[in-house]
Amino acid sequence: MFQNGIRQPGRASAQPLNDLATLRQFLSGNGLFAFFDAPWTPIYIGVLFLFDVWFGVFALAAGILLFVLALTNEWATRGLLAGAGEEQIQAQSLANSNLRNAEVLHAMGMMPGIRKRWAERHQGFLLQQSRASDRAGTLANLSKVLRLLAQSLILGLGALLVLEGDLTPGMMIAASILMGRALAPIDQVIGAWKQFVGARGAYGRLQTLLRSVPQEEERMSLPAPKGEVSFEQVVAVPPGGKIATLRGLDFRVAKGQHVGVIGPSGSGKSTLARVLLGIWPAQSGTVRLDGADIAQWARKSWALMSAICHRISSFSTAPSART
């Protein structure tokens, strides 16, 4: 997540943490067990075929009907749930980005506009989620009714077979129980489908994030840095940009030498600092620290020479002197 924030500063978000929480809740909740029970459905239907062919045919027809309802549930709610998730992410991102500048927004009279934009996003999320919940709830209730109806009808079919002498009363009761066990997983899957779609979307976003940020390779250990910096024909382009901010930059700063970087806004001062620290890679050329390419240095080697005095939020809360 932090590496993605470095590579794409304008798209930095804590949404991956929410995606992890969504995935964890699904994996630790009851919805996942419905998918574990699903493989038993064909086994129970096979046993019903052993009892009597008509039992098996009836159970198979009921199972196919419930499976069609599950596919209908996916078709009816997938787009709405995906849209609701996107609207929620946008609303949360808008709120987080503007809360950090609440004083400025209030002073400039921008609060009503920001509040309206957030409300539009949030209402879009609620509207689509409500529609998806209504459709999913209707199909889940219909599935439950059909399952209970199928259990009742199989008792009637069993009674008919008992009267004809093709079945014993005990097998009739056992068939009803097996019918319920065979159809229950499908019914549970339909009920847990909303959580499954949310977890699937979270997993997809996490996979996209992990693919976009390759794992850093282990770097060699170098001597403690002394501070000699050199740029050799460096060309740098900000992430997502097409125009080079630094073009053919070539200079050397000796150890202990002080250099001031001045210039108008957009001239490349921040880009120079980010390339120097290895945050943004150079498109061409080489940045060296003590003669070694900046990419060869392990980041932990710079820990003692870095400074965060201008970012007080990076510090943890100091203990009280009274305690």
Domain that holds residue 12: 1-212
pLDDT of 323 reads: 46
Q: Angle of helix 53-99 relative to helix 40-51, nearest 10 degrees?
A: 160
Q: 173 and 32, same structural domain?
A: yes
Query: Is residue 76 in a domain?
Result: yes
Query: Is residue 164 in a domain?
Result: yes
Size (the chain), residues: 323
Structure tokens at 24: 């964890």
Q: 268 and 206, same structural domain?
A: no
Beta partners for residue 246, in sequence order? 236
Q: 174 and 59, same structural domain?
A: yes
Cα separation, 10 vs 4, in Å, equals 10
The secondary structure of 215-269 as a DSSP string is PPPPPPP-PPP---EEEEEEEE--TT--S-SEEEEEEEE-TT--------TTSSH
* Positions of the chain with pLDDT lower than 50, given as ranges: 305-306, 321, 323
Query: Is residue 322 in a domain?
Result: no
CATH number, domain with residue 299: 3.40.50.300
Final residue of a structural domain among 212, 240, 258 = 212
- Contact between residue 303 and residue 314 where contact means Cβ atoms under 8 Å apart: no
Q: 158 and 266, same structural domain?
A: no
Q: 297 and 166, same structural domain?
A: no
Query: Is residue 249 in a domain?
Result: yes
Torsion angle, alpha carbons of 94, 97, 99, 105, to 10: -90
Q: What are phi and psi of 249, to 5 degrees?
A: -70, 130
CATH number, domain with residue 45: 1.20.1560.10
pLDDT of 6 reads: 56
pLDDT of 304 reads: 52
Query: Is residue 323 in a domain?
Result: no
pLDDT of 214 reads: 63
Q: 302 and 197, same structural domain?
A: no
Q: What are phi and psi of 204, to 5 degrees?
A: -65, -40
- Contact between residue 300 and residue 216 where contact means Cβ atoms under 8 Å apart: no
Q: 241 and 129, same structural domain?
A: no
CA distances from 79 to 65, 108, 291, 319 (A): 23, 38, 55, 50
For 132-160, b where at least 16 C-beta lie within 10 A, e where not — what string? beebbeebbeebbebbeebbeebeebbee
Query: Is residue 268 in a domain?
Result: yes
- Contact between residue 192 and residue 30 where contact means Cβ atoms under 8 Å apart: yes
- How many structural domains comprise the chain? 2
- Contact between residue 46 and residue 56 where contact means Cβ atoms under 8 Å apart: yes
Q: How many beta carbons lie within 10 A of that of residue 60, not counting itself?
A: 16
- Contact between residue 181 and residue 38 where contact means Cβ atoms under 8 Å apart: no
Helices (H), the chain: 2-7, 15-28, 31-37, 40-51, 53-99, 102-107, 111-163, 169-191, 193-212, 269-276
Q: 126 and 72, same structural domain?
A: yes
Q: 194 and 79, same structural domain?
A: yes
Q: 83 and 204, same structural domain?
A: yes
Strand pairing class (292-293; 246-253)? unpaired
Query: Is residue 95 in a domain?
Result: yes
Final residue of a structural domain among 163, 182, 212 = 212
